[in-house]
Structures are given as C-alpha cells and as structure tokens.
C-alpha cells in the first residue's frame, strides 16, 4: 500500500442497480483498499440487497425506486463528505473495474484533485459502439473544458473529497459523470488520467443510448 493511502482515509462509493451476481464480490474485493465502502442501492428489483456484504466497514444507502446513477453517486458523495474522508473513489458494481487499481488512482491525487481511469490505451475488448461513443464525448468535452479529456465515460475515479461539494452533479442519469468533469474544469480543479484495464463481460449495459445522448447534450448546453 502506498504512503498516500496510509496517511489518508479513503472511502469507495459503489452505486448498484440489479447487480445481484456481482455486488457482493465487488464490495469484498474493494474493502482491502479502502477504509469504508458506501454501497448505494438505486432501486434494485432483484436479490442485490441480499448479497451486500455485512461488514462494519460497509454503509448501505437504499432507495425503493430507480433514480439514476447520477442520483446514486450524489448520495454516496454526500455521505463521504459528511464522514470527512480525505479521498473518495467511485467504482461500478458490475466488475468492469479492478479494485486493485485503487492505489494507482489515489496516488494520482498527490498532484491532482480528480483522477479518472483511462481505458482507451488498450481498446481491443471494448465494444465498437462504446469506443465511438466515448471518443466523441471525450472529444467534445475536451473542447468544452479546454483540456485533454482521455476517457469521459469511465466510472472508475478518485476525488479529493474536499472538492466534491463544488462538483456535485445536478443530472441524475449516466450523463452526471460528464457533468462532474465540466464542473471540475469550471472550478479550475486539476483533472488527470491513470491507466486502468478494459474489462467487458457479456452482461447487458444498463445505459440506454438514446437517453444517454440526450442527457449528454443537455450537459453540454448547461
């Protein structure tokens, strides 16, 4: 474990919606790298809640209705702010990210305020439509923020918790992650990228392309 992890308190926010097969595993794999996991149930209708790890270091926030990833992230961020964690990591619940890369993200915060995982160095396993979508949104956000955005859609991120109040998203869907980048740039926070591997299983993405595009346009016009 690197020195910055030893000296600071870290929590991981894991939003989940109908991830009964993976939520327990991702929490267990994340716990060795953080001080607390904040799992946010975004209205799951399957057995996800039954598979949330029972541990003193796991905080569960649960909603009966699906409100969107942006909403779930917001609730997790607020809890992290309230608990005065130094750093806040976000990681998806479907095993598209490897928790073992959390130390690499946190190390990037030594000189930055926001670290985003960059999967686009090796894209051989990423679906073509996701590559195109990510390239386009990253290009447009680079123009909007006037800085190079390498991977706008990666949900594997790390933040200095003290900046979260200034970048909390107002949008509730997947577009919230693009809004966070815009908010960080507007506040002149330092954004950087760290390589993380591309992992895709055969699970169906919960992102609805039309809704995602519509939400992204609204963010860009904000």
At 117-156, the pLDDT tens digits run 998 766 556 667 777 787 889 999 999 999 999 999 999 9
Pairing relation of β-strands 10-16 and 157-160?
unpaired
Average the pLDDT over each of 56-65, 85-94, 136-145 and give the range with the smallest value: 136-145
3 state DSSP class of 190 = coil
Assign a CATH topology to domain 3-220.
Answer: Spore Coat Polysaccharide Biosynthesis Protein SpsA; Chain A (3.90.550)
* Residue extents of the structural domains in the chain: 3-220
Predicted model pTM? 0.90
* pLDDT band, very low/low/confident/very high, at 103 (cuts 50, 70, 90): very high
pLDDT given at position 219? 83
**Does residue 161 have a pLDDT over 90?**
yes
pLDDT given at position 129? 72
pLDDT given at position 218? 82
Whole-number Å distance between alpha carbons of 221 and 27: 36
């Amino acid at each position: 474990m690197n020195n910055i992890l030893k000296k600071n308190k870290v929590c991981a926010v894991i939003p989940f919606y109908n991830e009964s097969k993976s939520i327990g595993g991702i929490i267990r794999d994340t716990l060795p790298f953080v001080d607390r996991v904040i799992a946010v149930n975004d209205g799951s209708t399957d057995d996800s809640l039954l598979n949330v790890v029972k541990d003193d270091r796991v905080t569960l926030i649960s909603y009966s209705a699906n409100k969107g990833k942006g909403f779930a992230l917001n609730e997790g961020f607020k809890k992290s702010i309230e608990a005065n964690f130094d750093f806040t990591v976000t990681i998806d619940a479907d095993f598209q990210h490897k928790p073992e890369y959390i130390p690499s993200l946190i190390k990037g915060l030594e000189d930055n305020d926001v670290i985003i995982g960059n999967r686009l160095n090796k894209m051989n396993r990423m679906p073509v439509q996701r590559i195109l979508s990510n390239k386009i949104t990253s290009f447009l956000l680079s123009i909007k923020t006037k800085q190079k955005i390498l991977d706008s859609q990666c949900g594997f991120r790390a933040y200095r918790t003290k900046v979260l109040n200034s970048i909390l998203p107002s949008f509730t869907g997947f577009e919230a992650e693009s809004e966070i980048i815009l908010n960080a740039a507007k506040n002149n926070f330092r954004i950087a990228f760290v390589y993380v591997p591309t992992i895709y299983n055969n699970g169906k993405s919960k992102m609805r392309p039309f809704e995602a595009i519509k939400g992204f346009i609204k963010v860009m016009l904000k």
